[in-house]
Amino acid sequence: MGWNMSKPIIGISTCFEKQGAHNYHQTGHKYITAISDVFNGFPLLIPSLGNMLDRQNLFEIVDGLLFTGSYSNIEPHNYDGQPSDSGTKHDSNRDETILPLIPEAVDAGIPILAICRGFQEMNVAYGGSLHQKVHEVNGMTDHREDSSKDLNGQYDFAHKVNIAPHGILGQISDEKEQMVNSVHWQGVSQLGLGLKIEGTAPDGLVEAFSVSGSTSFALGVQWHPEWKVMENPFYKSIFKNFGDACLTHKLENI
């Protein structure tokens, strides 16, 4: 049987984790199901191999790239930040894999959706910097989840995002504001070069951006639209538009 040409192949970033005596390349189930449920995408996990990853060969295989959230944070030396507090979880393998991958993928016209850590990776990849503790920055609110609640409560709506007009989100959303969840404690400090703000939180924190001049879909969001994506029209529309761009890229490169 031939390959279903309506099924775009989506590369998904992985975290490098040691479990017991062995190392694993892994990602969250919710990202995989969001791709398959919303637009019937075929998920392909990208191993965190750093410079050993053949990026050009990857670009010939995938029709889009999804950069996921993670429990780890980008090592601050990648954006000239101060050393992290002791015990902060990092993933240098993922940093070394994804940071150079993002701008090369954009230049190659590969559609991109970046979520949470992926959003932060995208900012750093374009020369931006991060607040390591948004809740300690003067004038900013606490963007962390309420750990006293169950998982549904932690991922429930937390604040509005003000949608910038004439951008990707402005075309997706019929409203000037959308409610989103908030499950992060790092965030954009200095915006990366060539990134266009697509949405901000009420305290002014950048919550979404796109890449100016990109030939394809290239969007990063700080919240988690993959969470119960089929129940939220705004979240679903983000994945739907990403999927449409991936299918277009596939058909144009047959």
Phi, psi dihedral angles at 163 (to 5 degrees): -85, 125
Catalytic residue among 131, 184, 224, 249: 224
Alpha helices in 142-206 (DSSP H): 151-154, 168-172
Which one is catalytic: 116, 121, 131, 143?
A: 116
Q: According to the model, what pLDDT value does residue 3 have?
A: 54
What's the predicted TM-score (pTM) here?
A: 0.96
Residue 149 exposed, middle or buried by CB count within 10 Å (0-12, 13-18, 19+) = exposed
Q: How far apart are CA 81 and CA 129, in angstroms?
A: 7
Tell which residue, 131, 28, 157, 202, has the closest CA to residue 12: 28
Question: So what's the pLDDT on residue 254?
Answer: 83
120-173 residue pLDDT tens? 999 999 999 999 999 999 999 999 999 999 999 999 999 999 999 999 999 999
- What digits encode the pLDDT tens for the residues 45-70? 999 999 999 999 999 999 999 999 99
17, 207, 226, 246: the catalytic one is 226
For residue 6, name the pLDDT band (cuts at 50, 70, 90).
confident
Is the distance from CB of 41 to CB of 85 less than 8 angstroms?
A: no
Summarize pLDDT for 16-40 with one digit per residue, the tens.
999 999 999 999 999 999 999 999 9
Residue 64 one-letter amino acid? G
**N-terminal to C-terminal alpha carbon distance within the chain:** 18
State the pLDDT at residue 1: 44
Quote the CA–CA distance of 91 and 27 in Å, as a whole number. 13
Cβ contacts of 206-209, under 8 Å, gap ≥ 24:
207/161, 207/180, 208/119, 208/161, 208/169, 209/119, 209/122, 209/123
- Indicate if 249 belongs to the active site: no
116 is catalytic: yes
Is the pLDDT at 212 greater than 60? The verdict is yes
Per the annotation, the verdict on 15 as an active-site residue is: no
Mean pLDDT over each residue of the chain, to the nearest integer: 96
Tokens of 82: 């101060």
Of the candidates 27, 39, 196, the one whose C-alpha atom is nearest the C-alpha of residue 122 is 196
